Structure 1
Amino acid sequence: MPPEGPILVFDGVCVLCSRWVGFIIERDRAARFRFAPMQSQTGRSLLLRHGLDPDDPLSLLVVEGDDAWTDSEAILRVAGSFGGAWRIAALARVIPRSWRNRAYRTLARNRYRWFGRRETCLVPTPELRARFIE
């Protein structure tokens, strides 16, 4: 795994968010992405640095170097990074960002009710542990 790469800050107790991390792991063949639960010190710090409330985050965060993306743009950046047919995800950018983000925020606000919540953060397998920060 490269020592540096994009970091995805996600809700570690959200079932949907944990499934999204699993989805990324399966498709990120170069193992570029690293993951930080927003409940961790690193996750909280990154959220604060990029203007998101770590106690009430309504978005996941993707950070790469000095750049950061949230909401639907973060999802599209991740999907597009898989290459191949996943580049088609970029076509969603023809939909106005405000509409995409409204849909994303609706999902984010209802994620626990619709998909469930874990009692503890996602625990990676020993093989994947190196990709998780804290």
Structure 2
Amino acid sequence: MILFDGVCNLCNNAVTKVIKYDKKNAFLFAAIQSKSGQEIINYLNIDTTKIDSIILYEPNISYDIKSTAALKVMNDFGGFWKITQIGWVFPESFRNFIYDYIAKNRYNWFGKKESCMIPTPALKAKFLD
């Protein structure tokens, strides 16, 4: 399960890419602003005012945020995406510094929607409300 900022253009584009490369059909999605997203965030006791990040949630196992979540998602793609795994050689603090810089500027650089994206009927099953 990937929780993402549903009004962020960068985040929505990233979700579209994940869907495209998710050949194993491993991921479901929920906008952080959605009812399901809020329920999961509350269950995990995550303060989204302090953690501006995607959240990779594996029920009954764990959850990851920021660069760790992104690297784990990309690891699932295979192919040339395996090159992104070089990111693991960098300390998490360095990776998250870069992640946080992009996250902080994402609305200025990529824009923001007025409301969360609405998946097409073909993709509806991949999204929780």
Q: How high is the TM-score relative to the length of structure 2?
A: 0.92
1:30 matched to which residue of 2? 24
- 1:129 is the counterpart of 2:124: yes
Gaps of 5+ in 1: 1-6
Equivalent in 43, 48, 54 of residue 49 of structure 1: 43
Identical counterparts, % of pairs: 38
Match of 1:114 among 93, 104, 109: 109
Residue 79 (structure 2) aligns with: 84
1:4 corresponds in structure 2 to none
Aligned residues: 128
Counterpart code for 1:49: Y
What does the per-residue CA deviation read over 1:15-50, in whole Å, with 9 as the maximum and x for residues that have no partner? 000000000011002221100000012112222333
- Of 54, 67, 78, which aligns to 2:62? 67
Q: Distance in 1 between matches of 2:43 and 2:101?
A: 24
Q: Which moved more, 1:43-52 or 1:79-88?
A: 43-52
RMSD: 1.4
Give the TM-score, by structure 1 length. Answer: 0.89
Structure 1 distance, partners of 2:80, 2:32, is 30
Q: Which runs of 5+ in 2 are unaligned?
A: none
